[in-house]
Structure 1
Amino acid sequence: MYSNFLPNTIAFLEQLFDRQATPAAAQWLKEKQNLVRSSETGKDLYLPFSAAPRYVGKSMLSLTPDELEQASQLRKGFNPTNWTTDQLARTILLLSLPHDNADNYSKTILKLFGTADMGELVALYAALPLLPHPEKFVAQATEGIRTNMGNVYEAIALNNPYPFENFIEAAWNQLVLKTIFTGKSLHKIYGLDERSNPDLARMLSDYAHERWAAGRTVTPELWRPVGPYINETIISDIKKLFASENETEHEAAALACTQSSYPEAQALLDQHPLLKHKIKEGQLNWSHIGQKAITA
């Protein structure tokens, strides 16, 4: 299966690159691709991977809706919206490296992680869901969520299906919590609803209590993974949201109740018929809350 995926992915990325790069940059990348493809040890990847910005620039990609749809069809969850030309070139080089030997391939890539600057780390982490032998990079990705570099963290946590597919529950929960700690929107975490779990709900409720005790607020998005696990303890949090003067907190509380089968949550929702109606009619959803968080 992967043997078909890889050439299709490279062809798609090359198409994006050729459309937005200069002829000189395209020629440079083609030459380095050929060099990397014929590399027996993988060492021929290191220099062009590092030098890419000097030869291809660091411009933001401009993707059409059709190209974004093609990316999603090629690899579910793949979203290169915020990629740059050097990131694209680096990913093409990573995918051009011979990968028949999983250990050799992963050692070469992991060595890059060990010496990478911030831009290189962004490219490496964002490329993980496209790389052969993804299981070889779980420890590195799990370690990566501890980074204090915002751009690098976003490359791992946001618009990236790799954590959803590969992280154990503890690492996944830590990713969600850190996304909230760092003020980023949960809306961009791929697979957030599918990976919600009771431990995460408890941790998020505890975090909200700590913030409230300190006189601070919490993002209304926090309640998205909590909704399915409302219980006799968490229901008091939902009541607090409904009692708030903040309209978005009311909306988040209603959405959380909609996700819940807990009888008291359903009873609370019935007390807010307008919000219940908006949810039923598709006028209010977590994407709506997420967009508010992004623009706040």
Structure 2
Amino acid sequence: MANSQQQINFSTLRSTIHTWLENRLSSEALTWITETSEKLEMGTEDWEFFASFSGVPQKTGKELLELSEQEGKQAENLRRGWQPEHWSVDQLGRTYLVLSIANKGKDDFLDILEKTFISSDMNEAIALYQSLPVLPHPEDLTKRAAEGIRSNITSVFNAVALRNPYPADFMDDGAWNQVVLKALFVESPLYLIDGIDRRANEKLAGMLADYAHERWAADRSVSPELWRPVGPFAKGDTIDDLKKVLTHDDELQQQAAVLALSASPSDQAQALLDEHPETVDKVKEAGIDWNTIGVRFNKK
């Protein structure tokens, strides 16, 4: 587990979020969320937090946040890998209110947060799971994150799995491997999973190869992105699998095989690449990388 989250300055985080909201909300909505945050920070009954959290969209609207380039850099500086530019204004507002009760004792905060998760509707759950990387006590939220991964609602799963640094930073290998496998199962793009390369591991590579075999046996297609975490551990039978991918009719599959084989330390992999110089050269000359493949595949 790569438990390497940087120390977050929560005062600066809240101040920055407030500024982003100030630039997007009406004066009435801003006054409401500012005063509500101040009340929550001073201490209120739990039901008051639940009611305020639930009512955010009615006050803020649901417009896309669309952070500027400078604001995106601020987010990255506040928390590595944090990508709220894809959030909506109400999701940011809800995160702001959650952070308003962060000064409670650890047990009280986690208790209120868990109750909010349990009672949340789909949109509230998405906002909560997206906020995981910027919440206090992240090491105590792994079980809750795992619940999100198990969700049968794809948008809730995606809130945890995609554009979210929390899983790669805090989940153990077993939970992490399930993130990647389920993303393939529900056809979510792997290139949007933060840490997909950093958290690659041999067990996951084997699981993915087995999954590919199951798909092939059922005469079903295999995402070219599947081979991304496999490449660094490809050897033996997996090289044979990649040979099949390298000779596939689909150019994206061929490109994926080239990238996976290029990442393998196996002499067999290099020998196979040497047998297909034209395909290898095309990938190099076009500057094809895994993100290129992910974007193109998920546009199909």
Q: TM-score range by the shorter chain?
A: over 0.9
Q: Which residue, 22, 29, 32 being the options, matches 1:25?
A: 29
Partner residue of 2:257?
Answer: 253
User: Which residue among 240, 244, 247 is the counterpart of 2:248?
Assistant: 244
* Structural RMSD (CA): 1.7
Question: In the alignment, is the contact (CA less than 8 A) between 1:238 and 1:253 conserved in 2?
Answer: yes
The aligned counterpart of 1:158 is: 162
In structure 1, how many angstroms separate the alpha carbons of the residues matched to 2:107 and 2:237? 48
From 143, 146, 149, the equivalent of 1:145 is 149
1:90-169 equivalences in 2 (<5 Å): 90-99=94-103, 101-169=105-173
Q: Which of 55, 59, 62 is equivalent to 2:66?
A: 62
1:220 aligns with 2:209: no
Corresponding letter in the other structure for 1:17: L
- The answer as to 2:193 corresponding to 1:186 is no
Which structure's relative contact order is higher, taking Cα pairs within 8 Å and 6+ residues apart? 2
CA positional deviation for 1:116: 0.5
Distance 1:115 1:180 in 2: 28
Mapped contact 1:242–1:250 kept (Cα < 8 A): yes
**Aligned equivalents of 2:156, 2:262: Cα separation in 1:** 34
The answer to whether the 8 A contact 2:102-2:136 is kept is no
Q: Secondary structure at the match of 1:160?
A: coil
Residue pair 1:126, 1:155 contacting (<8 A) in 2 also: yes
Matched, 1:45 2:10: no
Larger displacement relative to structure 2 (94-103 or 208-217)? 94-103
User: 1:40 Cα deviation (Å)?
Assistant: 5.4
Shift of 1:158: 0.2
Using the alignment, how far apart are the partners of 2:144 and 2:167 within structure 1? 11
Q: TM-score, normalised by structure 2?
A: 0.94
Which amino acid in the other structure matches residue 295 of structure 1?
A: K
The residue aligned with 1:87 is 91
- C-alpha spacing 1:98/1:205, structure 2 compared with 1 (3 Å): closer
Q: How far apart are the structure 2 equivalents of 1:69 and 1:107?
A: 32
1:207, 1:229 → 2: CA distance?
16
What TM-score results when the alignment is normalised by the length of structure 1?
0.95
Alignment partner, residue 262 of structure 1? 266
Question: How far apart are 1:21 and its partner, in Å?
Answer: 1.2
Question: For structure 1, which segment, 238-247 or 273-282, has the greater mean C-alpha deviation from structure 2 after superposition?
Answer: 273-282
Is the 8 Å Cα contact of residues 173 and 200 (structure 1) preserved in structure 2?
yes
Distance change (3 Å), C-alpha of 1:172 and 1:98: closer
**Structure 2 CA distance for partners of 1:126 and 1:111, relative to 1, 3 Å:** same
Give 3-state SS (helix, strand or coil) of 2:64's partner: coil
- CA 2–208 in structure 1, closer or farther in 2 if over 3 Å, else same: closer
Q: 1:188, CA displacement in angstroms?
A: 0.4
Is contact 2:149-2:161 (8 Å) kept?
A: yes
Letter of the 1:188 counterpart: L
User: Aligned letter for 1:199?
Assistant: K
Distance in 1 separating the partners of 2:7 and 2:272: 52
Q: Number of residue pairs matched?
A: 296
Query: More deviation in 2-11 or 162-171?
Result: 2-11
Q: Aligned in 2, Cα 1:176/1:98: closer, same or farther, shift over 3 Å?
A: closer
Q: Which runs of 5 or more structure 1 residues have no equivalent in the other structure?
A: none
How far is the alpha carbon of 1:282 from its aligned partner?
7.0
The structural deviation recorded for 1:145 is 0.6
Give structure 2 stretches of 5+ with no counterpart: none
For residues 274 and 100 of structure 1, what CA distance do their matches in structure 2 show? 61
| AA partner of residue 253 (structure 1) | A
Give the fraction of aligned pairs with identical amino acids, expressed as a percent: 40
Work out which of the residue numbers 27, 32, 39 in structure 2 matches 1:35.
39
Runs (4 or more) in structure 1 with deviation over 4 Å come to 1-4, 40-43, 278-282
Moved more, 278-287 or 155-164: 278-287
